[in-house]
Amino acid sequence: MNIIPEITRQSITNLINNNERADGRAVDEYRDIVIETNLVSKAEGSARVKLGNTQIIVGAKPQIGEPFPDTPNVGVLMTNSEMLPIADPKFEPGPPSESSVELARVVDRCVRESEMVDLEKLCIEEGKKVWMIFIDLHIIDYDGNLFDAAMFAVMAALMNTKLPIAEYKNDEIIIDEDATMDLPLKDKATMSTFVKIGDKMILDPSLDEESILDARLSIGITESGNICAMQKGGDGPLSKEDILSAVKTTYSKKDELLKYLK
Amino acid sequence: MIHVEDKKFVVPGEILAEDDYYPGRGTFKEGDMICSSLMGLVSLRNNKISVIPLKSKYIPKKGDVVIGEIEDIRFSMWGVNINSPYSGILPASEVFGREKKELSRVFKIGDVLFLRVVDVDEVKKVKLGLKGRGMGKFKNGILVDITPTKVPRLIGKKGSMINMIKDKTRCKIVVGQNGLVWVKGDVDMEQITKNVINLIEAEAHTSGLTNRIRDKLFLLIDGELPKDREESHESKFGENNSKNHLNNDPDFDNSFEANEEELEKPKLENFKGIF
C-alpha cells in the first residue's frame, strides 16, 4: 500500500467534495489519450497507449496450437500482464503481483465476454489445430488507471493484428506468410474505471487519487452498449446509486472513447 | 581552450574544455580534458565549469531544510521519507529531549514535517532535527513536487520569485531543498500557485522568467495585466521586491542564497539601478 501524505489526502478529498480535481479535470473527464499502433515489428499486432502519464505497450502474438478438448472448434485467447520496475518504484521484478494478475484477468474478461474476437474463425482444423492469440500487456509508466489504458491498448492492438493464412493438408500446416487476414473481430469494447472518494464517483483516477480510494469499480462496455465486464476493488462499499451512476457515465463516455480507436 | 558556451545542453562524456579551466560539479577530468558526467546545462563561473542536471534526486547535505513525510515509527525514532534515495531518521530525543513518550501520539504515519538535516554520515544515514524557526508539522495545504535542481530558480534572486508568488496569491509557501513545496492558502490560489510552480520548473532554464511569471500571475488572478506594466519591467524589480520581504522567512532566504549562484548567473543589468 502506498503511503500518501495526510495533507495530500485532505486536499484531494476537499477538492473532490467541491467537484474539482487536483489536475483541473471534471469528475467525469478522461486525461489526454494518445494511441499509436503497429510499433513492434516482430508482433502481428501492437499498440502503445498513453493515458495522461500512464503508458502501456501491448503486443498480440498468434501461434498455432491444439485446441482444448472440450472446445475443439474454437481458438484460444490468453492475456498476460507485466508490470515493469521502470514504471513505478513499487513494482518489483519477479513473479507477477496480485495487481498484475488482476489487471490481466479483468482485461481478459472484457475481451472474452464481449465476444469481440470471433474465436470460431480461428479454428484451422477442428480438434487438431487452432490459432492461439497471446496478448501481452507491458506497463511502462504508471500514473493511475491501468485498466482503461490496458483495455484501450488491447483493443487497438487487436484491431491491427494480421494473421497469416494457414491451411491444414495431410496432417501438415501450410502457412502463407505473404497472404494475411485481419483478426476476425465482431465488436469493440472499452472500459471505464471509477473510484469512490468521500461520496463521489470519479472517472479515470490519477495515481494520487487511486492511493486514497475507498472503492474502485471498472466497467467494460461493448460498442453495441452491452456491459461485458465489471470489477470491484478497494475496501469500501459501493451503494446501488454509485453503481448506477457509474454505469450511466460509462454508457455516455463510450462513443467518445471509441472515436480514438478508428 | 573551451568547447561549450554557458547554458549549452550537454550529454555525459561530452568534452567541455581543455587546460586553463577547473572541473566543477557534474564534470570529471580525463587527461587535460574536462568532460560532462551528466545530462544538463553548462554553467560557467570564471574559470570553473560545472553541469547542472536537468533532473536530479535530492542528495542530503548537512544544514539543508527539507520537507519530509513520516513513513515509519520505530522504537525511538521516526523513519522519514525525504524524497531522496536515502531515507531520513528523526530521533525521539529531538522532539522530547530526555523524556520518554509514546512516539505515535506526536507524529503519525503520513504526517508532513518541515525539518533540518542535522547530520549526514559517511554511509549517508540522514539525521533530521526540528530545532529552528518554523520547523514542525504542516496542517492542511497542498504539496507540489519539483526536481531539486530547480529549487534555486523557484526562490529567485534573493527570494524575488517566491516572494512575488507569495504576495500575489496570498499563499503561505515553504520550499524544501529536497524539491517538495508546501502551499497553503485559498483553495483556488493553491491551485494557481501549484500550476505556476510547475511552470517555473518546466521553464527554469529560460531567461526573463520572473517577469513572465509575474504577467502570468496577474492574468490568472486579476484577469488582466497591471497598468504600470512598463515600469514594472525595469530591471531593478527583483531587488526592490525582495528587500521589502526578505525578513518574512529567514529560514529559507538565508539558506538558499548560497545555492542560488549555482544556477542563475547574476545578470549585469540588474545592478544598474543600484550603482
**CATH number corresponding to B65-137:** 2.40.50.140
Domains B9-53 and B142-271 share a fold: no
Cell 574536462, located at residue: B34
Residue B229's pLDDT is 52
List all residues of chain A from 4 to 33 with a beta carbon under 8 Å from chain B: 4-11, 14-15, 18, 20, 22, 24
Residue A89's pLDDT is 87
Residues, chain A, total? 262
List CB contacts of B48: < 8 A, sequence separation 6 or more: B21, B22, B23, B24
Q: Give the C-alpha separation, A193 to A253, whole Å.
A: 11
Provide, as residue numbers in chain A, all residues whose Cβ is less than 8 Å from the Cβ of B141: 7, 11
List all residues of chain A from 23 to 82 with a beta carbon under 8 Å from chain B: 24
Start-end of H helices in B91-222: 92-96, 151-155, 160-169, 187-202, 209-221
> A233 to chain B nearest CA, in Å?
23
Q: Give the C-alpha separation, B42 to A194, whole Å.
A: 46
DSSP B156: -
All structural domains of chain A with their residue ranges: 6-259
Residue B242's pLDDT is 40
Residue B245's pLDDT is 39
Domain spanning B9-53, CATH architecture: Beta Barrel (2.40)
Provide, as residue numbers in chain A, all residues whose Cβ is less than 8 Å from the Cβ of B142: 7-8, 11, 22
Instruction: Select the residue of B71, B140, B187 nearest A7 (Cβ to Cβ).
Output: B140
Of B164, B163, B171, B116, the residue nearest B143 (C-alpha): B171
Residue B239's pLDDT is 42
Instruction: Select the residue of B110, B191, B194 nearest A5 (Cβ to Cβ).
Output: B110
**Which residues does residue A112 pair with via DSSP β-bridges, in sequence order?**
none
Residue B176's pLDDT is 93
Mutate to test the interface with A, among B191, B192, B197 (most CBs of A within 10 A): B191
Residue B81's pLDDT is 92
Contact between chains at A3 and B109 (C-beta distance less than 8 A):
yes
Assign a CATH topology to domain B142-271: Ribosomal Protein S8; Chain: A, domain 1 (3.30.1370)
**CATH number corresponding to A6-259:** 3.30.230.70
Provide, as residue numbers in chain B, all residues whose Cβ is less than 8 Å from the Cβ of A17: none
Contact between chains at A10 and B140 (C-beta distance less than 8 A):
yes
Residue B22's pLDDT is 87
pLDDT along chain A (262 residues), means of 10: 81 90 90 94 94 95 93 93 93 92 96 92 90 95 95 94 88 84 92 93 93 94 93 93 94 92 83
Q: Give the C-alpha separation, B103 to B107, whole Å.
A: 7
Residue A1's pLDDT is 57
Which regions in chain B score pLDDT beneath 70? 226-275
C-alpha grid cell for residue B248?
518574512
Residue B249's pLDDT is 39
Contact between chains at B71 and A14 (C-beta distance less than 8 A):
no
Residue B207's pLDDT is 78
> B109 to chain A nearest CA, in Å?
8
Instruction: Select the residue of B108, B138, B191 nearest A7 (Cβ to Cβ).
Output: B138
ipTM score for this prediction: 0.71
Distances (CA, A) of A93 to A100, A114, B100: 12, 32, 42
| pTM score over 0.90 | no
All structural domains of chain B with their residue ranges: 9-53, 65-137, 142-271
Contact A28, A253 (CB under 8 A): yes
**Count of pairs with CB atoms under 8 A, one residue in A, one in B:** 39
